[in-house]
Chains A and B, each alone.
Chain A
Amino acid sequence: MKQVIIGCGPAGIAAAETIRSISRADQIAIISDEGKPLYSRCLIPYRLTVSGGIDISYREEYFFEKLKIVPLLGRKAVRISSAPRAVYLDDGQEIGFERLLIATGGRPRKPDIPGLDKDGVIGFRTTSDCAKICGFLPSAKTAAVLGGGCIGLQVASGLMSAGVKVTIIIKSAHLLSQVADETAGGIYAGIFSNNGAEVVTGSEISSIEGGRRVERVRLESGREIECQLLVIAKGVSPNIEIAREAGIGCGDGIMVNANMMTDVDGMYAAGDVAETVDAATGRRTVNALWPCASEQGRIAGSNMAGVPKEYESSLRMNAVEFFGLPMISVGSVKPPDARHEVFCFRDEGKNIYRKLVFNKDILIGLIMIGEIDNAGVLTSLIRKRAGLGRVKDELIAGRTGFSRVIEAIMWNRDRFSGESYDETLMTLAEK
């Protein structure tokens, strides 16, 4: 079987590894527009914060050799054709396939602002983006970060640790508006402020000004903010163009079924480019998150190699830490209406915040700041949409350990399947 994978991020890598673990004979080729793609994109921000550098490699250099994968690096895939089944690269090569995985990821959103092309205005997705920022650092006394999401805040804290005075400009009313609630946003806004940053909410940049290089930004309100460096962190758009042009069905992302296959037979999609059902909301969405990408890649790879596997659902989930305060946020944390029950616990002295959102008997969202133990136990309850019964009270009381939720797992036993559950619960069955 000729297996071709476009994209060498976590989805592509997971798919390749899975195919190889199932089939020694299949030919696997990976196409990546980056010359040295075997790194973890998520680790790039650590290059700003960790002094002495950090190894961001995600797989060894001999990865391709070891798994007998043909690497086509530094080449961009420009067209997919279904008859003949082939991918066309920007250097003219035609790569035939029997099965294809489109794992092209996303690109940073670039807002339409005059002056965007000035020097010192950088997105934050690739190692070269990071290298550019590092290049501008010595001459940047002040910087602005546009976007208050996980990436934006990671960059902001990285810049702050390098001694730069940072202003964080966000459109929403509070930080982390896509992944957390007002209280959580407020907690982190306080921490960033205490560490010297300024957080400007409800604002958009109307123009980026200066000479060849950015010197300041002007907000819609008219206020000017001085900065010699501007990082744009307004999220990511899925790179679906290549699929759409090939006639593959797309929504916000490439639409896939439970086997990660698109509406064209033998063509799969996974990762930041794919649109899947979110367990907490029940709606189709692109959850551009590392764990989702890996899992989707694994499952796509399995199906491509002839071992059918189903992907239950993706789930919006984020784990971050800023200035020593960790937060885990999963699922639906801003309930749209009063039908959802919300329980909050706050210990200001210890900087602990816990929020649980229920839809009747089912947990659909959580935020844990400060104390993040057992988050994964709750994530699995959200993912499996388990009816909780008495366990709901345990969670509200903060008793979130696995043993405390076993009752709910037993009631929904068919959803919690697999060797690990079987082994662990077997011991309890023997009385």
Chain B
Amino acid sequence: MKRTVDRAAQKVLDSIKESAVRTVWDRSEAMEPRCGFGDLGICCTICLQGPCRIDPFGPADQKGCCGADPDTIVARNFIRAIASGAAAHSDHGRDIAATLLHAAKEGPGGFRITDRRKLVAVATELGIASEGLSPQRVAELVALACSEQFAKAPLMFMNRAPEPLKKKWTRAGLWPQGIDREIVEVLHRTNEGVDADYRNIILAGIRASLADGWGGSMIATELSDILFGSPSPIRSKANLGVLKKEEVNIVVHGHEPALSDMIARASREGELLEYAREKGARGINVCGLCCTSIELLMRQGYPVAGNFLSQELAIITGAVDLMVVDVQCIMPGLSDIARCFHTEVVTTSPKARMPGVTHIGFEAAKASQIAHQIVRMAVDKFPHRRKERVNIPDEVMDLVAGFTVENIFTNLGGTFRSTFRPLNDAIIAGRLRGVAAVIGCNNARVTQDYGHLAMTRELIANDVLVVQTGCSATACAKEGFLRPESAFELAGKGLREICEAVGIPPVIHMGSCVDNSRVLRALCEMVKEGGIGDDISDLPVAAAAPEAMSEKAISIGCYAAGSGIFTVFSPPPKIEGSRNVFEFLTSGLEAITGGKFCFERDPLKAAGEMISHLDKKRASLRLHPMIYGGEAHHEHEDEQVLTI
């Protein structure tokens, strides 16, 4: 199997072919064959009477020691993963709310309220009257109101959902009773000897995921916009070629925007730039990996060096002077790699430490000071670069990012208000087939980026507008799909016309993984705008995570399906060991929330499933047939890109 279709990544891998440097791919290959019990989800390690496993080839009535059948075992493991993923996003949201509170009180450290308009809008939505109050006071109230949602209902942003969806949630008992509370309940239910009914178990998991998507993640997105500014369409670049030979290279990696925002600010300080020049560098170049990079990209246009699987490769170019990390998706293997180069890796979160690596605890109150210190450390490292080992691949690609619900159709809707009317009209008229969200991670068990690219290419060729977040967006960015020109190069005729008219690329970057909440909001707007259904599940839309890796992705997939969206998810999240769970997620769930999963591994076939789904919805809505009829079909060019 090919490791990657990213040419820059391949170059870096080739450069270490004959050396002792080991990457995630080497470790993944050495781990083959993977344990089938784990892969299928039929290994239970919850209590000490285990570990128990179900023989997938054995008789049908096998049970774990306590009597749990495969459905129970698989379902329990599944929702624990949801809880973990939801916890990550929600903790992120909690931290942003705390930072907002700190900024509201104008505490030291440098954080301030940036987008007052958004502040007022959010306050209004939360039922906080803002007339006569200072922005700081409003922000304080907003932060407190959001913080409360971690402990108790209601989750205010869930009001954005269409009425029919809310009714479905009520009927199914899916309204969360508090973001943290749902996660605790998942852990309770999956404790030995509690919930044993797989449907009941899974629905509790869905509820926890909804508390993520409409709760933790959405709070993170909205409050980040307030704190750091709402994004607007912005140009930048992606891939390892953004590293600069003549400048100090700082790579920000992780997820929360607070740290990266401060690092970016510090890197612009005259004093540090001067210091850099003293050390022989032309300047200080900040770029990043994963979501924290995307936060910087969306709001300030800083370039993205790579996605999840590229993290070690960035260091291996020999050009990274310092990599500063906070939480999530940070491979412990980075410390081994950094030891082979001059790179300093710095952890900053008390929740995310790594042996053998420098730790500088990041606190809001000392934020700009700490950021200054870290940037200074990076400059100090610059002279230690071993020039003969610097090998930066020249791949770098232009991109447009920065799209949000507020700004996506600003151009056509009029100067002051953005509207989804043009989008809905295009869908009704048959110019656009619908919208698909292609999101999610990288996974070393499948060829890096291939799933995202193949699927996206297929969708846009079939007049499906694609919105993206996270590592998936970075994958498409590297390949050039996020340039407006790609509308001419790759999109079907209908989609191309819309892109030309509105001035958007056919693939829309909406942000980081918590910004999948923007997608939820966009779907609500589409329903509100009217003409294409009364509920999210009526819309000709679909979501996909073709290279899923993290438990966070599982949570996102669940809140998507739990909100009525047809959700492709590959590789399957350790649920194939139970036929019943598989059926419930791919079929039974639809009757409850209007959404369901599809676990197709082949990205082209999966795109086909999504297109069929869109067509089915179009037919139910009696929309016009597609103007530019016909269907484009791609083939896999290279059998070596296929998957598990």
Contact = CB atoms under 8 A, between A and B. Distances in A.
Q: Direct contact between A and B in the complex (CB less than 8 angstroms)? A: yes
A396 interface: yes
B29 interface: yes
Interface string B1-39: 000000000000000011110000010010000000000
A397 interface: yes
A397 B29 contact: yes
A352 to B, nearest CB: 8
Interface string B580-624: 000000000000000000000000000000000000000000000
Nearest to B29: A399
Contacts of A345: 18-20
Interface of B: 17-20, 26, 29
Given A397-B29, A399-B29, A344 B20 contact: no
Interface residues of A, number: 11
Interface in A329-353: 343-347, 349-350, 352
Instruction: Please name the 10 residue pairs, one residue from A and one from B, whose CB atoms are nearest each other, closest first.
Output: A347-B20, A345-B18, A344-B18, A343-B18, A399-B29, A396-B17, A349-B20, A346-B20, A397-B29, A345-B20
B50 to A, nearest CB: 30
Contacts, number: 18
9 contacts: A343-B18, A344-B18, A346-B18, A346-B19, A346-B20, A347-B20, A349-B20, A352-B20, A396-B17
A349 B17 CA distance: 17
A207 B19 CA distance: 46
Contacts of A350: 20
A358 to B, nearest CB: 14
A104 to B, nearest CB: 45
Interface of A: 343-347, 349-350, 352, 396-397, 399
Contacts of A347: 20
Contacts of B18: 343-346
Contacts of B29: 397, 399
Most chain B beta-carbon neighbours within 10 Å: one of A344, A349, A397: A397
Contacts of B26: 397
A180 B228 CA distance: 63
Nearest to B21: A347
Given A345-B18, A347-B20, A397-B29, 15 more contacts: A343-B17, A343-B18, A344-B18, A345-B19, A345-B20, A346-B18, A346-B19, A346-B20, A349-B20, A350-B20, A352-B20, A396-B17, A397-B17, A397-B26, A399-B29
Contacts of A343: 17-18
A343 B18 CA distance: 7
B445 to A, nearest CB: 16
Nearest to B26: A397
Nearest to B640: A390
A15 B18 CA distance: 44
A428 to B, nearest CB: 13
A399 B28 CA distance: 12
Contacts of A349: 20
Contacts of A344: 18
B455 to A, nearest CB: 26
A250 B19 CA distance: 47
A394 to B, nearest CB: 9
A347 B22 CA distance: 11
Nearest to A350: B20
Contacts of B17: 343, 396-397
A149 B420 CA distance: 81
A349 B18 CA distance: 15
Contacts of B20: 345-347, 349-350, 352
A370 to B, nearest CB: 11
A222 B151 CA distance: 91
